[in-house]
Amino acid sequence: MKKFERGSTRIFTYISIVIFGLLFYHSLSITGENSGEWWDEHVFFRNESIVWSLICIALFLCGFVFIGIIYDRFLCRWKRNFFLIAALVVSYAFSVYWIYANPVAPEGDQLMVSQYANAFNMGDFRGFNKGQYIARYPQQLGLVTFLRVFYTIFGESNYQAYYHFSALMIPLIVLSGCMIVRHITERNGKAELFYLILAVCCVPMYPYVGFFYGEIPSTALAIVSAWLFLSLMEKFSYPKLITMGVCLGVAVQFRKNVLVMVIAFVIVAVVRWIQNRSKENLLMLLSVVGGVLLLQGALRLVYYDKYVEDAEAVPALSFIVMGLNDDYGYSGWYNSYSLHTFAAYDDSTEAMMPQMKADLQTYFNLYKSDTSYAVDFFTRKMNAQWNTPMYQCMTMNKNTVGEQAKLVQTLRYRARTGLLIERVMKVYQMAMYASILYLLISKRKEWESVGKYLLLIASLGGFFFSMLWEAKTRYVFPYLLIMIPYFAVGLEALISQAKARIGCKEV
């Protein structure tokens, strides 16, 4: 492998080892959780016994050692796609079950995008006027446009149809993740089986099916794009190239946070192009960037005559300033700073800029003068987002409109079974960080292709983004889904290496 790509992967690997080491270290002693109150989305911390955490991880590993033994002796003879199809069916069935087990309706921003989709379909475009929701948050326009088409087909405010659409995205996530494991492990059957088990058992994934927003569709399309990207690295084809660009562009329109993943795609494509200057790598780069720009341009074209000249968007810098607040001890949490300050300056970014810069400087001065407080603040902010194993899946789906199933009730109100599931997901999260950390350390010399790290690069970008932006555990949820393939690969590598060390032979 040539020096430039190898050097790039080494730099990324060492930075990632530090970050995942921090996440794993803190996961052993602290857990973020929600109170269970319907009105409170803040994260509170519970201290954990490090010894007990390590015992739980060991038991988790023992469970997968047993699964690995069963695979080596019996299941390895079965066709891999049998397990994949079974996982797709189970994940879809449970997604549909959740729609009916937890009947919810959109609220807050979810409700706003739905209402504006209906208004636009009726010819009412006042949302583009100065001070209105779409003018202030134009990043929602892609989702609104999709909902316009969706409501035209399935009926006005048809939330149930959208939930079923999200349910269809779950097996797509599972399928794409499995294909990614195949590409980065060169068809390791045991790692694939581990992935399918871990993906199907990822409890927070299912409640988000009922979240009337772009998290599930955008993440699904981004993971599909990653699968196609890795496939293109193995065998180039124009249909896959075009599909990848379109999927990534649509994913960004669902949720602008996907741009963090787009940057990862760009980094990998640029590194590979600099490495060998091949036409294929240049076309992959152009597809990634072009897909995003073309979809954004198409959206702009659709509404070209609806934009109002003096209607400005809430500046991105205000969300960074808000991400530095410590009101009531909730580090970086939403406190209405961006919206209220913007409104106070008559929705003018130019007028608001001196205030934002002054507030930003105030925070910087505070952290500079008290480094111990700065460390404490960012540690709390990190743990509230990255060490909360349920990822606010119940808190974000609290606007119930019907009778909940017992399983949903026990999760929502944190009853005995719900607490058990939370504890299992806690072990799941600790084992995930441990497995990825082991993978990074053990493969740092063997994995010299930057493409193998594609979604881990996206996860690292998501980490730094979460430390700057307004804090919310929901924003980290997509990174959970894109880390699961590496969780499985790291878990398989860890178990195989442990067996080799004690002299066990593969069957």
Please report the DSSP string for 332-344 in residue order: TB--SHHHHHHHH
pLDDT digit string (tens) for the chain, length 507 residues: 578 888 888 999 999 999 999 999 999 999 999 876 767 888 999 999 999 999 999 999 999 999 988 888 887 778 888 999 999 999 999 999 999 999 999 988 999 999 999 999 999 999 999 999 999 999 999 999 999 999 999 999 899 999 999 999 999 999 999 999 999 998 788 999 999 999 999 999 999 999 999 899 999 999 999 999 999 999 999 999 999 999 999 999 999 999 999 999 999 999 999 888 889 999 999 999 999 999 999 999 999 999 998 999 999 999 999 999 998 889 999 999 999 999 999 999 999 999 999 999 999 999 999 999 999 999 999 999 999 999 999 888 888 888 888 988 888 888 889 899 999 999 999 999 999 999 999 998 888 889 999 999 999 999 999 999 999 999 999 999 999 999 999 999 999 887 777 665 554
| Contact indicator for 474, 391 with CB cutoff of 8 Å | yes
As a whole number of angstroms, the distance between CA 32 and CA 50 comes to 15
Sign of CA dihedral 135, 140, 141, 147: negative
Angle at 338 between CA 137 and CA 321, to 5 degrees: 120
Using CA atoms, how far residue 225 sits from 173, 222, 258, 282, 482, in Å, is 11, 5, 11, 16, 12
| Contact indicator for 257, 299 with CB cutoff of 8 Å | no
Q: DSSP letter for 186, please.
A: T
Buried/exposed 380-411: b ≥16 CB within 10 Å, e otherwise: bbbbbbbbbbbbbbbbbbbbbeeebeeebbbb
Q: Say if residue 196 is exposed, middle or buried (CB neighbours under 10 Å; 0-12, 13-18, 19+).
A: buried
pTM of the model: 0.94
As a whole number of angstroms, the distance between CA 266 and CA 285 comes to 6
| Contact indicator for 232, 240 with CB cutoff of 8 Å | yes
Residue 109, C-beta contacts closer than 8 angstroms, at least 6 positions apart? 137, 140, 213
Task: Say how many residues make up the chain.
Answer: 507
DSSP 168-179: HHHHHHHHHHHH
Please give the torsion angle defined by the CA atoms of residues 456, 462, 468 and 474, in that order, rounded to the nearest 10 degrees: -140
Nearest CA to 485 out of 432, 438, 449 is that of: 432
Buried/exposed 81-110: b ≥16 CB within 10 Å, e otherwise: eebbeebbebbbebbbbbbebbbbbbeeeb
| Contact indicator for 113, 144 with CB cutoff of 8 Å | yes
